[in-house]
Structure 1
Amino acid sequence: MKNLIVDWDFLRLLRLGIGLWLGFLAIAESQLIVGVMAALFLLQAIFNIGCAGGACNTPWIRANHKHLIKEEVFEEIK
């Protein structure tokens, strides 16, 4: 539950704004398709999922992972 109220970045706020705007248009114009699109954008904003169900979220600052890379040892064959 705590994840729903933290880490609001620009794209998440943009999805929220688009969802609210489309929701207003759906109600004002009585359009079901626009209402479905609004619900999609609002769910993406609330649960912080974008592409591939949130699997595309990468950290802004990458940690140094050199210690995880193993050096390959090759032996010359004559």
Structure 2
Amino acid sequence: MNETLSLAEAIKAAGVSEKTLRRWIKSGRLAAELIEGPKGKEYRVTAEDLERASKATPKKAVSEPIPAAEGTKLDTGDLATLKAL
């Protein structure tokens, strides 16, 4: 039998937030069992399922800002368009 982890243990192991883990469970990306715990119902996940779910979700890439061309100026029409976006 695979070892099961509590959500707190899974959060530390995966390095994601509780909200993310709960989203994965709700969407079906992460299989979880709801069991009766000492303080009420709690989710338990296997380390194998957690690893699979972590690999299936690409981390967001941080993009570098694109520098403006030298001497480029915005006119008021450009600013209005940017604000509308």
- Shorter-chain TM band: under 0.3
Structure 1 or 2: more strand by fraction = 2
Report the TM-score, using the length of structure 1 for normalisation.
0.27
Higher relative contact order (CA 8 A, sep 6+): 2
Report the TM-score, using the length of structure 2 for normalisation.
0.26
Structure 1 or 2: more helix by fraction = 1
